[in-house]
Amino acid sequence: MDPLSLIHAAFKQDADLANIVIENDEISVNNTWFKLDAPTAFIVGHGPKKNSFYKLSAVYAVLKYGPKGPVEYSRKCMEKKWDKFHVLDERLFRRLMNEETLKHAQIATGNDVPKATQVRTNLPDNQGPRSKKHKSTHPLSESQSSTSNTQSAAIQNAASSDAPVLPAPTADVPETSVDAFQEVLKRERTGRNRTTILHSNSKSFQGVLDIFAAAMRQEQLREREQKRAPSSKDGHKRDKRTRGDKSGSRRSERSGLSSHKHKPEGKPIIVVPSSMMNSVLTSANAEKLLGQGIFVNSLEARKSSTNKVTMIKRPEAATGTTVPHDGSRKGPCKMPTEFELVENVKRLTHSEDWARVVAVFASGQEWQFKGWRWNTPVQVFSNTCGFHIYFNDNTVPPIVRTWNVCRLPINKNKRHFDKPAMLDFWRHLDKWLLLNKPELCE
């Protein structure tokens, strides 16, 4: 018998295959048992096993788990170690199963149908060694079942009344032994049962209550002491307020808002690289760029200039820069208009001279700061406002990127970009002066 026709009939009756049962390595189709590895009449049309026959396990898997998706179908086949259908064969098989008859070139007919040995014939549900509803025909089965029912009823009555369980007379337990057991129970006296053991008349939990009362008294005393003592939060607030006043005074002294800050004599100083250095901005062209907003090459400026420039005036486009104060002074603060230009810091011999240094132009070499009052670039640009001017088509030196400097790009050919760069310099310097050295403002 071909199991494929039986599966087709079962699938037409119920698509969920409720009438197909798998037990161990056997499968039951409408109470007809076959081996799971039995071949069917459906021929493999694609893949390495072409022209062979699909097994019953593969047919059952594609009908049972194929509709659940390829992931679940593949997982079940790997778990059960069943063969999988080829994708093209699966589509054809599903279409054939929904038709009334199984007729196709991939379905063998006649003598070509493989023989699937039937394990056993159809059996009723209540017969056979594999039936779940198997009933014994032993002559003592009915008496034993009635005895077990009697014993279960006795156990239930005993559970509700706390009485001992008495064995019922059976073929294995004679009636005389039951009478003897009852006689023994009559002479016994029940001391405790599950109801009386819950009573604790002789026990007292007063000790637990005393411990709880003592803990409550200690908690009340602790709360009273906290109310009498000054609040730690208030003291923290007072300390914070005091510290705030001190830090506020330090900030006001640093920002120049305090009138006790000493103003050094002389004009603010801008330090630029020497004209002999290979730098975009030197002492030769600094006045042209910062004072007039015109960039001139350092070599050309040094050839055309006869007198050495030592003073820079703020240009008119950047004059009148005022920043309002918070009440320490009446009216706004006016930024200085004249600055001293210095290329050799050896002239700065006194501490007040260094106090007037407000801006430093970095050339990009760390040895530029050799012999300064501040030994490292970090210290230099922590006490002054740092700048670095470079051509916009060049890259900034990596060491300059690590310094706290304002980078100002200059275009080599387009001179109309010079004035915006100049204004950026004065704007950045004015902000730094207000925050760090407002005592130099007028």
What string of DSSP letters covers 272-309? ---TTS--SS-TTTHHIIIIIS----HHHHHHH--S--
Residue 254: band (very low, low, confident or very high) from pLDDT cuts 50, 70, 90: very low
pLDDT value for 384: 92
Residues 82-141: pLDDT tens digits? 888 888 888 888 888 888 888 888 888 877 777 776 766 554 444 444 444 444 444 434
Residue 259: band (very low, low, confident or very high) from pLDDT cuts 50, 70, 90: very low
Where is average pLDDT lowest: 77-81, 102-106, 389-393, 397-401?
102-106
* CA 54 to chain CA mean position, Å: 49
Residues 202-226: pLDDT tens digits? 667 778 888 888 899 889 988 888 8
* Sheet of 311-313, strands arranged across: 311-313, 338-342, 269-271, 357-361, 385-391, 405-410
Here the tokens at position 293 are 């907003």
pLDDT value for 122: 55
Please check the confidence at residue 21 and state whether its pLDDT lies above 70: yes
Residue 328: band (very low, low, confident or very high) from pLDDT cuts 50, 70, 90: very low
Q: Is 239 exposed, middle or buried (0-12, 13-18, 19+ CB in 10 A)?
A: exposed
Average pLDDT over residues 253-272: 67
Hey, what amino acid is at 183?
E
Which positions ≥6 away from 171 have C-beta within 8 Å? Answer: 140, 143
How far apart, in Å, are the Cα atoms of 341 and each of 89, 269, 307?
A: 92, 6, 13
Q: Is 309 exposed, middle or buried (0-12, 13-18, 19+ CB in 10 A)?
A: middle
Average pLDDT over residues 145-165: 50
Which of 91-100, 249-258, 417-426 has the highest average model confidence (pLDDT)?
417-426
The percent of residues in the chain predicted with pLDDT above 90, rounded, is 8
- Between β-strands 118-120 and 405-410, what pairing exists: parallel, antiparallel or unpaired? unpaired
Which of 109-118, 119-128, 176-185, 231-240 has the highest average model confidence (pLDDT)?
176-185
Please check the confidence at residue 372 and state whether its pLDDT lies above 80: yes
pLDDT value for 102: 80
Average pLDDT over residues 325-344: 70
pLDDT value for 270: 92
CA angle 187, 193, 195 (to 5 degrees): 140
- DSSP H helices, 103-192, are 141-161, 175-187
Instruction: Give the span between the Cα atoms of 2 and 112, in whole angstroms.
Output: 11
Instruction: Answer with the residue of higher pLDDT: 127 or 188.
Output: 188
pLDDT value for 94: 84
Domains and their CATH numbers in the chain: 3-120 (no CATH), 269-440 (3.40.50.11990)
Instruction: Give the span between the Cα atoms of 429 and 312, in whole angstroms.
Output: 14
pLDDT value for 166: 52
The percent of residues in the chain predicted with pLDDT above 70, rounded, is 73
Instruction: Answer with the residue of higher pLDDT: 40 or 172.
Output: 40
Please check the confidence at residue 146 and state whether its pLDDT lies above 70: no
pLDDT value for 407: 92
Residue 409: band (very low, low, confident or very high) from pLDDT cuts 50, 70, 90: very high
Q: Average model confidence (pLDDT) for the chain? A: 76
Instruction: Give the span between the Cα atoms of 309 and 286, in whole angstroms.
Output: 9
Residue 234: band (very low, low, confident or very high) from pLDDT cuts 50, 70, 90: low
Instruction: Give the span between the Cα atoms of 48 and 50, in whole angstroms.
Output: 6
Terminal-to-terminal C-alpha distance of the chain: 114
Q: Is the pTM of this model over 0.85?
A: no
Residue 361: band (very low, low, confident or very high) from pLDDT cuts 50, 70, 90: very high
Please check the confidence at residue 325 and state whether its pLDDT lies above 80: no
Instruction: Answer with the residue of higher pLDDT: 253 or 413.
Output: 413
Beta bridge partners of 408: 389
Please check the confidence at residue 79 and state whether its pLDDT lies above 60: yes
Please check the confidence at residue 326 and state whether its pLDDT lies above 50: no
